Chains A and B, each alone.
Chain A
């Protein structure tokens, strides 16, 4: 039975200076974001993207991730997908994991859509024969048909997304990680994608979905985390998490300019607590 357990995950990305900073005037701004780590001499050494992330997902769970830009959603997905090894804590993964993190990665632009499906299938551990059997399903679901014989370089971002989504779901991963990209699909495709995710979950799987599209999360996820400055601000039932998140967003939007809190201030506070 697939499971995905995060125990106090933390990730610090190293920062090293290579060449000029590119900023005119030389001196970078004072870094107020407490996630920046500095050495004794004041030199930037790292950025703590994620701090103390814990949750437990079991068969049938669909986790949504919400949070502002830069709150660590995509990075968390990359950690769950094993791209980055967490620098703190432990990640326990049981099951075949596949993730679509970025539409520009993992596709060979010169090769045809068909050849790309083969390559992605091989990485997923399938044989060419097994992949061949999946092609009709992928062609049908992605609505790409004849386009599969054309190089991916001519695809639009919507087409790339459909190709990746159809391919990864056709390979039946036990754990599927999806980053904010479903947005590039039209309404019709989003509905189809929702049904497909449901199928995966029914096949005893786990889905993790990071998105700014709250409706998408409400329809597809039973639990959610709200990330703020790389930390979990709230973890629980999707409806409650989204309600609380929207509430906070509305407060920021409606606040008078003088009481408006900068996002950085909010992060600072959440670290201080």
Chain B
């Protein structure tokens, strides 16, 4: 049974209900996986290439980036394998940026469901996460297949990189809890988020390279940008290097602090969400 009456009776206070919402939402695996598939289906509805589109979009974008930016001065193509650097960085960036922008809209988009059935709200985040994880994983298979032919890949470090993916899922989830709840109440934030993400793309070393130990304006921007460290966590092992200690630390702190904040903001405001919708 998918409704929340039982949870509402058992829960002690807002925090308890928030926790039960997430547990019960997760248990609705069958529902949210079907919703995610439905989303993918309807976004490629009536297209000829169908699901091939998310592979095409990815390959076309990195192809163009490589063509245009590889010869640009200031991008280090001597010591780093620029096409690999860009392909893996951009792949995880697409997941991160989608997590943030769709996370901001998660409850707004689920309005029809939230106002017509007493369902756990967290299931819409699980749905979003799966919906974005499927293209990520498919593109990952495609690019890794290519990579093992073209570049000199080290299987062990690729495995390490894949093992970091759950970190991204956890962060995807709390960002949705936090931004999703805030944006239901303050709709301007949602607009701000989508604009900000477009700007942040250029402030994050994805199409450009940086030196973690270097000085200078551009290196500083990269180092102070927390998203750099998330991307490095995934990208560096792919390129055969360990992430720096700083990256590990930043990711760990952001994940823990973010998860707590996201949960608190969601749990304390959960009962108000339908009023705000």
A-facing residues in B242-272 (Cβ within 8 Å): 271-272
User: Which chain A residues have a beta carbon within 8 Å of chain B's beta carbons?
Assistant: 13-14, 18, 78, 81-85, 92-93, 96-102, 104-108, 110-111, 115, 118-119, 122-125, 127-128
Q: What residues of chain A lie closer than 8 Å to B8, measured between beta carbons? A: 82, 85
Chain A proximity of B38: nearest CB distance (Å)? 7
- Complex Cα distance, B31 from A127, in Å, reads 9
A/B pair count, beta carbons within 8 Å: 75
Q: What residues of chain A lie closer than 8 Å to B187, measured between beta carbons? A: 18
Contact yes or no, B31 A123, CB < 8 A: yes
Query: Size of chain B's interface in residues, with CB distance under 8 A?
Result: 28
* 24 CB < 8 A contacts A-B: A13-B275, A82-B4, A82-B8, A83-B274, A96-B3, A97-B3, A97-B5, A98-B117, A101-B115, A102-B116, A104-B112, A105-B111, A105-B113, A106-B113, A107-B112, A108-B42, A108-B112, A110-B42, A115-B38, A118-B34, A119-B34, A123-B119, A125-B1, A125-B2
User: Which chain B residues have a beta carbon within 8 Å of chain A's beta carbons?
Assistant: 1-5, 8-9, 30-31, 34-35, 38, 42, 45, 111-119, 187, 271-272, 274-275
Contact yes or no, B2 A99, CB < 8 A: no
The DSSP consensus for interface residues of chain A is loop
Of listed B30, B111, B113, B275, residue having the most chain A CB within 10 A: B275
Chain A proximity of B272: nearest CB distance (Å)? 7
Chain B proximity of A204: nearest CB distance (Å)? 17
- Complex Cα distance, B274 from A33, in Å, reads 24
Contact yes or no, B117 A111, CB < 8 A: no
Contact yes or no, B38 A119, CB < 8 A: yes
Contact yes or no, A106 B117, CB < 8 A: yes
Contact yes or no, A84 B38, CB < 8 A: no
Chain B proximity of A137: nearest CB distance (Å)? 21
Given the known interface contacts A96-B3, A125-B1, the answer about A110 and B116 at a Cβ–Cβ threshold of 8 Å is no
Of listed A82, A97, A124, residue having the most chain B CB within 10 A: A82
Contact yes or no, A127 B272, CB < 8 A: no
Q: What residues of chain A lie closer than 8 Å to B113, measured between beta carbons? A: 105-106, 123
Given the known interface contacts A82-B3, A84-B274, the answer about A102 and B38 at a Cβ–Cβ threshold of 8 Å is no
